[in-house]
Amino acid sequence: MTHSATKLALNIKLWGKELGFADVGITNTDLSEHETAYFDWIDNGYHGEMAYMERHGTKRTRPTELEPSTLSIISVRLNYLDLSATSAIDQLHNDQHAYISRYALGKDYHKLLRKRLQALANYIAQEVPNFQYRAFTDSAPVLERPIAQKAGLGFTGKNSLIIHPRAGSWFFLGELYTNLTLPMDTPANKQGCGPCTACIQECPTQAIIGNGVIDARRCISYLTIEFKGSIAQELRPLMGNRIYGCDDCQLVCPWNKFTQDTTEPAFKANSHAKLSLDNAPLLSLWQWDEAQFLTRLEGSPIRRIGYAQWTRNLAIAIGNSQHLPLNSTISELQHKLGKLNELVDEHILWAVQQLKIRSKTALSPLESRKQIQSTKNKHSIHHPFIAPKYYLPVKCL
Ligand code: B12
Ligand code: SF4
Ligand code: SF4
């Protein structure tokens, strides 16, 4: 490796930090050690209905099939957790409120991250004639986690997320595929989980089926964001009040006590919405019509799922609530029957039925709390699971 390549790599890291990335690492295009695991995952059908993952074939595992001129990959991470947002744990414990995944409380990260990568590329282009690159985050057939691990940004946790030993896992990943020959960073090969299995045990739907292996078909993130169909009845009670994404396998991860606050104003909770998404009552969100959904969530990643899916998800969360007023909530639910489509109606009817069952077996809030605590079977149909212990920096617990 030439002296100038080493110097350029150092500069790329400095520029990346200047641009607000929490870390920048560099690796090559060899992801062969991950190929078998990836295709086993697809062959087992764990990707559910994300058919694009099958369609992309080896483009995801062989970077040069996606971009032939690629010689080195620059991998970046950007912290997104807003430590000043209402406590994630309080929201999960309040079944009259909606739980929205922390990454979606602010503005959509796709554009922001790509722009930032573009800015990094501009710095490089000033130094290197004939510099070629492509910027990616999330949506392209790129094996982002294995790349980040190889570039030294963190190890792969049992929850499959990349975990930085001094910053936890609340960050997005992005990449620049480049035609530069750059020195590789040391891969973060040693898994830091040790004997811990908190994420596996506490996943509400038992979607983590092995070390680093997720069955997306059971994952609440998949069910609420990617999956358009009818959610299996046995999974609905386990979803609790999680209406968009899920964070439990990060909330219970001890490494996340080292979480760093986001420095991005765009990722601050409610940087876009006219309602506090970190603290939103289910029934207020239920009252939005489609026009409100579209205007209030302008610039939010949530808008992507569309109003019908949003309504489906809300219906499940309302059906799971033990503490909403019964009669008025049932009539609010019924009010939307026949307004969207049969699939949404089916979820609304399910929710109405859940509330009616609740009215017959009504427990006082105290009795109901006691029952939740004493339940041995955490996947008991009536009690969406709440983990006993969470890890976040003290200020936002
Ligand atoms: C499809 C997808 C999903 C699916 C499937 C999740 C999954 N685990 O694969 C669903 C919808 C469920 C999902 C959920 C979430 N996702 Co997602 N998702 C993706 C996407 C688009 C592709 C991931 C993929 O290829 N999966 C297929 C599996 C097989 O690949 P893999 O997990 O990378 O697995 C490799 C390694 O884990 C390794 N491996 C496998 N087993 C083992 C075992 C050991 C011991 C080791 C060391 C390694 C190892 O080999 C595998 C094959 O190469 C990426 C973006 C991208 N283009 O990469 C974002 C991405 C992974 N998601 C992300 C996020 C933030 C989330 C959520 C937290 C969002 C939320 N709050 O709801 C959840 C977390 C759920 C979870 N525990 O994974 C971030 C992760 C950032 C990070 N710190 O790691 C990414 C990178 C997006 C981004 N650009 O920031 N996601
Ligand atoms: S995001 Fe939620 S449902 Fe998915 S694996 Fe993590 S804890 Fe389980
Ligand atoms: S919760 Fe425990 S097992 Fe899961 S990723 Fe974190 S350290 Fe690893």
Residues 78 and 202 grouped into a single domain? no
Residues facing residue 100 across a β-bridge: 244
- pTM, two decimal places: 0.94
Which band of pLDDT confidence, cut at 50, 70 and 90, is reported for residue 380?
A: very low
Residue 137 and residue 244 in one domain: no
Predicted confidence (pLDDT) at residue 364 exceeds the cutoff of 70: no
Protein residue whose Cα sits closest to atom 41 of ligand 1: 212
Ligand 1: residues with CB < 6 A are 34, 37-38, 41, 50, 101, 103, 137-138, 142-146, 156, 159-162, 169, 171-173, 191, 211-214, 216, 219, 221-222, 226, 245-247, 249
- For ligand 2, atom 6, which residue shows the shortest CA distance? 249
Of all protein residues, the one whose alpha carbon is nearest to atom 4 of ligand 3 is 199
**DSSP state, residue 324:** S
Q: Answer yes or no: do 174 and 29 share one domain.
A: yes
User: pLDDT confidence of 382, banded at 50, 70, 90?
Assistant: very low
95 inside domain? no
Closest residue by Cα to residue 240 from 48, 388, 390, 97: 97
Q: Is the CB of 248 under 6 A from ligand 2?
A: yes
Residues 239 and 106 in one domain: no
- Give CA–CA dist 357/331, Å, rounded: 15
Verify that 78 and 219 share a domain, yes or no.
no
Looking at residue 280, what DSSP letter applies?
-
Domain assignment present for 48:
yes
Ligand 3 centroid vs 365 CA: distance in angstroms? 33
pLDDT tens sequence across 88-100: 999 999 999 999 9
- Say what the pLDDT of residue 384 is: 46
Tokens standing for residue 213: 């292996």
Q: Exposed (0-12), middle (13-18) or buried (19+): which is 179, by Cβ within 10 Å?
A: middle
Q: Is 13 helix (H, G, I), strand (E, B) or coil?
A: helix
CB neighbour burial string for 108-122, b if at least 16 within 10 angstroms, e if fewer: bbeebbbebbeebbe
Instruction: Note if 138 is an active site residue.
Output: yes
pLDDT tens digits along 303-348: 999 999 999 999 999 999 999 999 999 999 999 999 999 999 999 9
Report if residue 193 sits inside a domain: no
Q: Does the beta carbon of 203 lie inside 6 Å of ligand 3?
A: no
Residue-wise pLDDT for 177-235, tens only, equals 999 999 999 999 999 999 999 999 999 999 999 999 999 999 999 999 999 999 999 99
Let me know whether 330 and 371 are in one domain. yes
Indicate if ligand 2 lies below 6 Å from the C-beta of 219. yes
Q: What is the mean pLDDT of residues 106-116?
A: 96
pLDDT of 371: 54
**Count: domains in the chain:** 2
Looking at the structure, do residues 204 and 130 belong to the same domain, yes or no? no
Beta bridge pairs of residue 168: 164
For residue 276, pLDDT over 90 is answered with no
Ligand 2 centroid from CA 207, angstroms: 6
Ligand 3 proximity of 199 Cβ (cutoff 6 Å): yes
Distance, CA of 142 to chain centre: 17
Residue 382 belongs to a domain:
yes
Question: 168 and 130: one domain?
Answer: yes
DSSP for 29-71 reads: S--HHHHHHHHHHHHTTTTTT-HHHHHTGGGTT-HHHHSTT--
* Proportion of the chain above pLDDT 70, given as a percent: 90
User: How far apart, in whole angstroms, are the C-alpha atoms of residue 234 and residue 379?
Assistant: 9
Determine, yes or no, domain membership for 188. no
Atom of ligand 1 nearest to the CA of 169: 83
In this prediction, residue 376 carries a pLDDT of 38
The answer to the question of residue 186 being in a domain is no
Same domain, 214 and 353: yes
Confidence of residue 375 (pLDDT cuts 50, 70, 90): very low
Do 299 and 152 lie in one domain? The reply is no
289 and 164 within one domain: no
CA angle 351, 357, 360 (to 5 degrees): 145
* CA–centroid distance, residue 29 to ligand 1 (Å): 19
Q: Are residues 150 and 209 in the same domain?
A: no
The pLDDT of residue 378: 44
Q: Which residues pair with 176 in a beta bridge?
A: 74, 135
Res 379: pLDDT: 41
Whether 228 contacts 52, CB under 8 Å = no
Scored b (16 or more CB within 10 A) or e, 191-211 reads: eebeeeebbbebbbbbbbeee
Q: Which ligand is nearest to the CA of 172?
A: 1
What are phi and psi for residue 134, nearest 5 degrees? -140, 140
Give residue 361's pLDDT. 75
Residue 330 structural domain: 198-259+272-396
Give a yes or no: residue 111 inside a domain: yes
Ligand 3 atom nearest to 249, measured from its CA = 1
In the set 138, 248, 261, 289, the catalytic residue is 138
Predicted pLDDT at 395: 59
Taking CA atoms only, the protein residue closest to ligand 3 atom 6 is: 253
Distance 123 CA to ligand 2 centre (A): 38
